[in-house]
Amino acid sequence: MRVAVADDALLLRAGIEKVLASGGIDVVASVGTADELLEAAAEHELDAAIIDIRMPPTHTDEGVAALETLRAGGSRMGVLLLSMYATPEYAMRVMESGAGTGYLLKERVSEPLTLVRAVETVAAGGSIVDPEVVEALVSRTRADDPLQRLTKRERVVLELMASGLSNSGISQELFLGIKTVESHVRNIMQKLDLEESPDAHRRVLAVLTLLGKR
């Protein structure tokens, strides 16, 4: 397997090369910038590339941008992005680049088998995401989910709405006063950011939110 490594930290590059060599992987290019990586990809027939996300000149998203450039140019070689941090925004961009991509934290470099297997996975067209990155993605998704704003009682009321019950029916089902149910429904609409509109039925939109179709 022929691989290129791109990281502006020389010592880390050397460590990655040593780990890959121990796994029988041939590092044919070792560079310090994203531009040099793109040049190496054009020069060599690579099976995969390991790229640091933050590199010169801005130390922000150069690695992800290099991945996107490769994909835009038609390259389907495996690309494994390394980062010091679990950044959901970058992880989403990496995964949106299609098959043969991965996102690992740099601390995995100290786990030779994990790193080698990750390179082999992306080179074979598979995808891999560091467990800590997955946790960060899940946490962000939950924080962005409007349903997480509802209390347990409001969630139950919404589920009964989805089953087709009217406020009166919900009142009988939960043994609650009709005024209390109406208050719950009003709170649900506010928490789901569903404002009154002549063009939309808020009750239907609330149910669609629950079903994940909105």
Residue whose C-alpha is closest to residue 35's, from 76, 73, 69, 60: 69
Query: What confidence score (pLDDT) does residue 208 get?
Result: 76
Q: Kindly calculate the radius of gyration of the chain based on its CA atoms and give it in whole angstroms.
A: 25
What's the CA gap between 129 and 127, in Å, rounded? 7
Query: What confidence score (pLDDT) does residue 84 get?
Result: 87
User: By CB neighbour count within 10 A (0-12 exposed, 13-18 middle, 19+ buried), where does 162 fall?
Assistant: middle
What's the CA gap between 97 and 84, in Å, rounded? 20
Query: What confidence score (pLDDT) does residue 214 get?
Result: 46
Query: What confidence score (pLDDT) does residue 142 get?
Result: 59
pLDDT in tens, the chain (214 residues): 999 999 999 999 999 999 999 999 999 999 999 999 999 999 999 999 999 999 999 999 999 999 999 999 999 999 999 998 877 788 888 888 888 998 998 888 888 888 999 999 999 998 888 877 777 766 665 556 788 788 889 989 998 988 778 899 999 999 999 999 999 999 999 888 887 765 447 887 887 777 764 4
Are the C-beta atoms of residues 33 and 40 closer than 8 Å to each other?
no
Residue whose C-alpha is closest to residue 49's, from 123, 117, 108: 123
What's the CA gap between 49 and 27, in Å, rounded? 9
All domains in the chain, ordered by first residue = 2-142 (3.40.50.2300), 146-211 (1.10.10.10)
CA distances from 121 to 41, 154, 192 (A): 19, 44, 40
**Number of other residues whose CB lies within 10 A of the CB of residue 133:** 24
Query: What confidence score (pLDDT) does residue 88 get?
Result: 77
The helices-and-strands tally (H runs, E runs) of the chain is 10, 6
- Name residue, tokens 């002549």: 198
